[in-house]
Amino acid sequence: MSDGTGSRKIESQHAGVRNVIRLPDRFAFLRGNCTRILLWPAACGVAAALLWGFALARIEADRGAIEQAALETASNLARAYAEHLKRSIAQIDQVTTLVKYEWEQGQGHLKLENLEASGLFPESDLLFVLIAGRDGRIRTATGPVRIDASLSDRPAFAFHKVNDSTSLRIGQPIHGRFADRTVIHFSRRLDGVDHSFGGVVVVSVDPSHFTAFYDATGVGQAGLLGMVGTDSVPRAIRNGGEGSRAEPAALWGAEFLRETDQGTRYMDGTAEFIDGRSRFVAWRAVSSHPLIAVVGLDGDEVMAPFLQHRATTIKALLLGTLGLACFAALSMGLTARLAWRKYQEEQVRDAYRMATEGGSEGFYMLRVLRDRRNQVIDFEVADCNQRGAGLSGLTRTELVGKRFSGLYREPYLAEVMQTFRDALESGLHEDDFEVPDGSPLEANWVHRKIVRSGSGLALTLRDISETKAQERALSRLANEDPVTRLANRNWLMEFLPGAIERARHQGEFLGLLFIDLDDFKNVNDTLGHAAGDEVLQAVARRLHSLVRPSDHVVRIGGDEFTIILEPLADAAQASRVADRISESIAQPFEIARGCSTLSASIGISLYPRDGADIETLLKSSDIAMYHAKAEGKGQHRFYEPGLLERLTQRLDAEQALVRALKEDQFIVHYQPRVDAASRRLTALEALVRWQHPERGLVAPGEFVPLAEETGLVVPLGEAVINKVCAQVAAWRAAGLPVVPVSINVSSRQFAAGSVAAVIDASLTLHQLPSALIEVEITESSMMGEQTEVAANLAALRARGIRLLVDDFGTGYSSLSQLQRLDVDGLKIDRSFVVEIGVTRESEVFVSAIVSMAHALGMVVTAEGVETETQMRILEALGCNEVQGFLIARPAPAERIVELLRTPAGASEFATPWDATG
C-alpha cells in the first residue's frame, strides 16, 4: 500500500522530464544526464578534428614547400645543363668550322685522320667526323667509315645542298650506318670555288655524349636529363643514373617548351613519360642554338622523405585519435556510472524518506563541507523527511540546502559543530539533550543519533520532550519538597557523595549547615499548619536568597534545613553565611494571619575536618545544631569533638526528666504573698521542685529551662496544676481558710493551647472556684503579637482566673498591650527590688510602675523582698503586695498548713519565717 503511493510520488516528481525524453526504465538514471554523458564524445570529436585539421594543413604546407624547392633545384640544374650543352655544341661547332676552313683551303685535299692525329678534335669515342663531296660520296673520315659510301640520301646532305647557309645544322637522331647506333648529325655546308655547293662536313655524335652531365647527387637516381630541339624533337634523353642510354626514355609532345625560353612544371608523367613516372621538370633554352635543356627530378624520389614524414604523422594522428576515442568512451562510462550511483543514492534516499515519513523521527542526510586544507567548516542538509523539517518549524524544501551556520546561533553553534565533527570522526554518536538557546529545534528534549554514512552523516532526531517532562515530574516528586519546592532529603543523599568527591578532588572544603528553626512548633501550634507552611516557604525563600548559585538549600524535614556550601574557602566563610542566615531569620515574617518572629539554630560541619562521608557529616552538623540550640538558640556553632558527649548528657537529663514525670518525682512548694501594709497573707505562689531520688531536692532553675526546650514543660505544667488544685481542695476539705494560689505557666504551655482547658478540668475535678487559682506568665513570653497567647489569656480571664505578669521590667511589654490583655497584676522582678534603698532610679522606676498599674486597675507585687528597708520603701511607694525571703521562703504544703491555721496578721510575718528551716 505505502509502496504504491511512494513510487507514484517519485514518478510525479519526474513527470516533467519524462515528457521530454522517453527512456526505458532500465536507463531511467540517464534522465537529465544525457547531455553530460554525450559531452565527452563531442568534445573529443572536436579535439580530433582540430588536431587533424592542423596536422594536415602543416603537411600540405610542407608538400608545397618541397615541391617548390624541387622545382627550384630542377631550374638550377636546367640552367647548368644548358650551359654545359652550349659548351659541348660550341666545341662541335668549332670542329666543323675548322674542317670547313681546312677543306676549303686545301681545295678538297684534306685528310681528317691527319687532323685527328694532330689532336684538333676532342678525344671521344662518342663522335666522329666525315666529309662528303658535292656528289655525296664520302671523301675522308675519322671513324669507321667506308670511303666512297654515299651520304646523298641523308637529310643533312639534302639540306645543305639546297641551302647556302653556312651555319651549323643540328639534325634529328637517326640510325648511323657506320656506327650502327643512333647518332645526331651536326653538319655544315662546304663551299666550292665560286661559292657553289662543295659538300658537307658532318660530325656524328652519340646522344649520350650530351647526357654525360647526369649526376645522381643532383638529379637523383631516377632523374631525367633531356636535350630537346626547339622543333620539339628530343635529341638526347637520359633517364636514371644507371648507365647512359641513347634511346629516348621519355617522349612527350613538348610543345610547351617552345612557349618560353625557360620554365618549370610538375608533370604527373602519364601523358608525358613512357615510364609514366611523375617529375618536377625545368627547362632552359640553350643560347645561340635551337636546343632546350630539360631536367626532371623524379617525383617519387623528391617526395619520398615527405611521404615518409607524412606517414608517421598520420600514424601519430591515428594513435592520438584512438586515444581520444578511448578517453571519450572511458569518460562516458564514468559519467554514466556516476549518474547511476547518484540515481541509486537518490532512490535509496527517497525510499528511506518515504519509509521514515509518518514516523515520529526526523531524518536528515548531512553533507560535509570542507575547506582547502580538508578541514570540516560546515554541514549542509542534503535531504530530510517532512517530520525532520517540522522539528525546526520549516518545510522540507526550506530546510534542504541550509547549513548549520545558518541554522544554529553562537555560542551553541560551536558546540554543535564539535559534536558533529566528533561523530564524523568516530562514526557514531547518540545522546539525549536538552535543546538550548541557539538551536532551531522546537522541542525541549531530543534524542539524537548521528551515523557516518558514506562521506556524509545521517542524523535521526526524536522529540522526547514529553517523556523527559514525565521523568522530571517523577524525579521532582522524589527529590523535591512539595511545600517549599526545595530539594529534599532524598535529593541530598544522592547529591552529597558527588559533592564530597568534587571537594576531595579539588582539595577544597565542603560546608554543611544544619538549620533548625527554634520553637517553630509554636507557630504551627498557635497559628495553624497553613501559617506554618507559609512561614516555611518564606524561610526557604530567604535561605535561597542568601547563598550563591553554586550552593544548595535543602529541606530535610519539618523545620530543618540544610545548606551545602560548595566550594568553601575556609570555616570563616561558613560562619559568615550562618550569621547572615541568623540575621535574616530574625526579621519578622509577615504572613496572612499576622506576623511571626523566629530564630534559627545552625550547626556547621566541614568536609574533610568533621567527617569524610555523608552520614558523619550530617550527624556532625546535627550535633553542632543541637549544641547551638542548647547554648541559647538563634546562633550557630561549629562541630567540635566533645559536643556529642555534652549532648548525650543533655539527652540523659531529658530522659531523666521524662522518667521523673512518669514516676511523679515532682512536688510543689508554696511561697506566701502578703499585703504590703498589713502583712496579711493574700496568696501563695506554687513553685515546682524535683524530689530527686539521689540528688535530693532540685530547684526549678536546673530543670525548667530543659523542660521548656524539650516541651516537657507541658506535661510538667499540667502535673503542677493538678497538684495545686488537689492541694487547695485538700486544705479546703481540712477546713482551712484557703487563699488563691498562683501557678507559673510558660509560654510553651500556651502554645500547646491547653492551659485553660487543663485548669478548667482540674477545678471541676476538685470542685474549686476559679477565684482560687491565679496564673503567672512572664513578661517576655507575652512579647510580640502572639495571638495564640492572647487567645489563651482571654480564655482564662473568661473563666474568672486572675492573670499576673511575672518578672515585670525584664521584658518590653507596652502599657497598651497589658491593657488589652486585661491583666490583674504585675510582679516587679527581683532585680529591681534588690536596688531599692541602693539607687534612686529604682525607686523612681517602681513609683512609675505603681502609678501606671494603679491607673489601669492592676495590683502591684514586689518579688524577692529580703530586707525591712526594701519593705518600708516599697510600702511607701504604694506597692500593694510583697513576696520574698523577708516574709517567707517557699515551703512544702505541710508547712503552709501552719500558716493557714494562724490567723493572718502583720505580726505573724514580722520576723522572717524560714520555710526551709
Q: How far is the CB of 803 from Ca ion (least distance, A)?
A: 12
Binds ligand C2E by CB under 6 A, chosen from 461, 720, 782, 803: 720
Q: Per-residue DSSP letters for 109-143?
A: ---HHHHHHTT-S---TTEEEEEE-TTSBEEEESS
Binding residues for ligand C2E restricted to 380-439, rule: CB under 6 A: none
Q: Which of 491, 517, 505, 513 is nearest to 618 (CA)?
A: 513
Q: How far is the CB of 744 from ligand C2E (least distance, A)?
A: 4
User: What are the two backbone dihedrals, phi and then psi, of residue 495, each rounded to the nearest 5 degrees?
Assistant: -80, -40
Binding residues for ligand C2E restricted to 281-300, rule: CB under 6 A: none
Residue 266 interface partner, choices ligand C2E, Ca ion, none, CB cut-off 5-8 Å depending on type: none
Listed in sequence order, the residues at least 6 apart from 835 whose beta carbon sits closer than 8 Å to its beta carbon are 841, 842
Binds ligand C2E by CB under 6 A, chosen from 569, 699, 798, 906: 699
Amino acid at site 563: I
Dihedral over alpha carbons 527, 532, 534, 538 (to 10 degrees): 120
Region near ligand C2E per CB under 6 A, out of 304-312, 471-479, 574-582, 700-708? 700-708
The sign of the torsion formed by the CA atoms of 60, 65, 69, 71 equals positive
3-class SS shares of the chain: helix, strand, coil, % to 5: 50, 25, 30
Interatomic CA distance for residues 628 and 516, integer angstroms: 10
762 binds ligand C2E (CB under 6 A): no
Interatomic CA distance for residues 740 and 900, integer angstroms: 12
Residue 746 interface partner, choices ligand C2E, Ca ion, none, CB cut-off 5-8 Å depending on type: ligand C2E
Q: How far is the CB of 716 from ligand C2E (least distance, A)?
A: 7
806 binds Ca ion (CB under 5 A): yes
Binds Ca ion by CB under 5 A, chosen from 744, 747, 786, 792: 744
Residue 269 interface partner, choices Ca ion, ligand C2E, none, CB cut-off 5-8 Å depending on type: none
Place of cell 531511467: 28
Q: Per-residue DSSP letters for 530-590?
A: HHHHHHHHHHHHHHHHHS-TTSEEEEEETTEEEEEEEEE--HHHHHHHHHHHHHHHHSPEE
Nearer to ligand C2E, 513 or 714 (CB): 714
Binding track, positions 632-671, relative to ligand C2E; x by CB under 6 A: ---------------------------------------x
Binding track, positions 797-836, relative to ligand C2E; x by CB under 6 A: ---------xx-----------------------------
Binding track, positions 764-793, relative to ligand C2E; x by CB under 6 A: ------------x-----------------
746 binds ligand C2E (CB under 6 A): yes
Nearer to Ca ion, 206 or 807 (CB): 807
884 binds ligand C2E (CB under 6 A): yes
Q: How far is the CB of 582 from ligand C2E (least distance, A)?
A: 27
Burial of 442-470, coded b for 16+ CB within 10 Å and e otherwise, reads ebebbbbbbebeeebbbbbbbbbeeebee
Q: How far is the CB of 823 from ligand C2E (least distance, A)?
A: 15
Q: How far is the CB of 731 from Ca ion (least distance, A)?
A: 20
Binding track, positions 849-868, relative to ligand C2E; x by CB under 6 A: --------------xxxx--
Q: How far is the CB of 871 from ligand C2E (least distance, A)?
A: 11
687 binds ligand C2E (CB under 6 A): yes
3-state class (DSSP) for residue 434:
strand
Q: What's 186-220 look like in SS3?
A: EEEEEECHHHCEEEEEEEEECHHHHHCCCCHHHHC
Q: How far is the CB of 626 from ligand C2E (least distance, A)?
A: 23
Binds Ca ion by CB under 5 A, chosen from 272, 566, 807, 881: 807
Interatomic CA distance for residues 829 and 847, integer angstroms: 14
Sheet of 376-384, strand order? 376-384, 361-370, 456-463, 445-453, 428-434
C-alpha 790, offset from chain centre: 69
Nearer to ligand C2E, 320 or 711 (CB): 711
Q: How far is the CB of 468 from ligand C2E (least distance, A)?
A: 57
Residue 681 interface partner, choices ligand C2E, Ca ion, none, CB cut-off 5-8 Å depending on type: none
Residue 236 interface partner, choices Ca ion, ligand C2E, none, CB cut-off 5-8 Å depending on type: none
The sign of the torsion formed by the CA atoms of 594, 795, 749, 747 equals positive
Q: How far is the CB of 863 from Ca ion (least distance, A)?
A: 5
Task: Tell me the site size for ligand C2E, rule CB under 6 A.
Answer: 24
How deeply is 898 buried, as exposed, middle or buried, from its count of CB atoms within 10 A (0-12, 13-18, 19+)? exposed
Binds ligand C2E by CB under 6 A, chosen from 176, 532, 700, 809: 700
796 binds ligand C2E (CB under 6 A): no
Cα–Cα distance list, 82 to 90, 212, 290 (Å): 12, 13, 11
3-state class (DSSP) for residue 483:
coil
Interatomic CA distance for residues 197 and 697, integer angstroms: 209
Interatomic CA distance for residues 151 and 187, integer angstroms: 12
Dihedral over alpha carbons 519, 522, 523, 524 (to 10 degrees): 120
The sign of the torsion formed by the CA atoms of 756, 762, 766, 772 equals negative
Residue 301 interface partner, choices ligand C2E, Ca ion, none, CB cut-off 5-8 Å depending on type: none
Q: Which of 274, 256, 254, 156 is nearest to 205 (CA)?
A: 156
Nearer to ligand C2E, 488 or 671 (CB): 671
776 binds Ca ion (CB under 5 A): yes
779 binds Ca ion (CB under 5 A): no
672 binds ligand C2E (CB under 6 A): no
Interatomic CA distance for residues 9 and 6, integer angstroms: 5
Cα–Cα distance list, 870 to 82, 330, 816, 853, 875 (Å): 183, 130, 29, 20, 8
Nearer to Ca ion, 387 or 830 (CB): 830
The sign of the torsion formed by the CA atoms of 808, 811, 812, 814 equals negative
Residue 772 interface partner, choices ligand C2E, Ca ion, none, CB cut-off 5-8 Å depending on type: none
Question: What kind and span of H or E run contains 286?
Answer: strand 279-286
Region near ligand C2E per CB under 6 A, out of 211-219, 553-561, 633-641, 883-891? 883-891
Binds ligand C2E by CB under 6 A, chosen from 220, 240, 717, 809: 717
870 binds ligand C2E (CB under 6 A): no
Nearer to Ca ion, 811 or 892 (CB): 811
C-alpha 89, offset from chain centre: 106
C-alpha 530, offset from chain centre: 52
725 binds ligand C2E (CB under 6 A): no
Binding residues for Ca ion restricted to 326-355, rule: CB under 5 A: none
Nearer to Ca ion, 562 or 792 (CB): 792
- Positions in the binding site for Ca ion (CB under 5 A): 744, 776, 806-807
Q: Residue numbers of the site for ligand C2E (CB under 6 A)?
A: 671, 686-688, 699-701, 704, 713, 717, 720, 744-746, 776, 806-807, 863-866, 884-885, 890
